[in-house]
Amino acid sequence: MIDTPFTVSADLDLGTRVGSYLRSGDADVSIAEGQVPQALDNVTDRGVAFEVNAEEFLLHVPNGASFHVIGGKHIRYARNGVSDRDVALFLLGSAWGALCYQRGLLPLHASAVMHKGKVHAFTGQSGAGKSTLAAGLSQRGLDFFTDDVLIIDPARIEGSTASCFAGQKDMKLWEDALALTGVESHGPVRDEPDFKKHFAMPATTEEKGSGDLVSLTILKNENVRRDRDPIQIERVRGAQALKQLRESVYRMRYANAIMGRQALYTALARLIAAVHVQTFDRSMLKPQFDNSATAMRDWIQNFDQADG
């Protein structure tokens, strides 16, 4: 099985996050410093910091680098005075997401672990605790698979099998999450002083970059009922699952603008039909983390037994 959905050649140090994508010679995608336009022609959608047309995507980070993604094959970046580290951060995030859509891939905003060869992913809004949970699970015996981005190839969803790819092999954790999970820092994410987010590599990391996705867990902290159970896992199906997963699409505005609403919903519907989708509602209070991480580890291990 191929390990990455595409290959990349780059003229800057992208660190270890996408090591398996990198080639020294010919590759599907070239990344190079160059001239980036201020604006695009024939714009079909525009957000505060980005523009999209039929073939191109443009992103300007405030006080930072600019990125021009062309036809799913080229990423041009203008450094605008910032370091390799800061260029790579947004290149492997937003620009990478746009590149995936241009190539017909569906990136999900998800972190994941692998257990007995199967991928279990966690998705949710920014701040929902995806990375922290994946780190916690890797400290509890499951193998870390990807952080922040999980790439689905809609062409590789067949029946009850959905192939997926790791987007990032380094984890990004805030300092309090490092302390909570016991994962060691590999250095700050940004060169900006006082930015308290770090790269980290959990102790148990799966080297493989692809696998079969079997469960997608949507992280919640509904915090509504005062007398609720501390942990609630609930399977969701059909339209309900579609509604919940819609918010888990990586950079939804890009998806609509580049992939198109119809293609996006078709891909999501096929994904929902192929994998187990559920919500995981739990406390976000730190003293409760051990309970919730252990509960999810047990669920994954039992799922595997039931499934296999």
> Could you give the CA distance from residue 148 to residue 166 in angstroms, rounded to a whole number?
9
Judged on CB neighbours under 10 Å (0-12, 13-18, 19+), 223 is: exposed
Q: Report the alpha-carbon distance of residue 14 to residue 235 in Å, rounded.
A: 38
Question: Between 256 and 278, whose beta carbon lies closer to another protein?
Answer: 256
Smallest gap, in angstroms, from Cβ of residue 61 to another protein? 7
| Cβ-based nearer residue to another protein, 176 or 207 | 176
Task: Compute the least distance from the CB of residue 108 to another protein, in Å.
Answer: 14
Nearer to another protein, 188 or 208 (CB): 188
| Closest to another protein by CB, 94 or 163 | 94
CB of 60 to another protein, least distance (A): 5
Output the smallest distance, CB 276 to another protein, in A: 24
List of residues contacting another protein (CB under 8 A): 38-39, 43, 46-51, 58-64, 89-90, 93-94, 125-127, 172, 174-177, 189-190, 192, 195-197, 221-226, 228, 247, 251-254, 283-285
Beta-bridge partner residues of 22: 8
For another protein, the closer CB: 27 or 231? 231
Query: Angle, to 10 degrees, between the axis of helix 289-307 and the axis of helix 130-138?
Result: 70
Q: What are phi and psi of 219, to 5 degrees?
A: -80, 135
Residue 23's contacts (CB-CB under 8 Å, 6 or more residues apart) are: 7, 8, 9
Shortest distance, position 173 Cβ to another protein, whole Å = 9
Whichever of 130 and 276 has its CB closer to another protein, that residue is 130
Instruction: Please check whether residue 71 is in contact with residue 53, taking contact to mean a CB–CB distance below 8 angstroms.
Output: no
> What's the min distance (Å) between Cβ of 109 and another protein?
9
Q: Cα torsion for 150, 154, 157, 163, to the nearest 10°?
A: -30
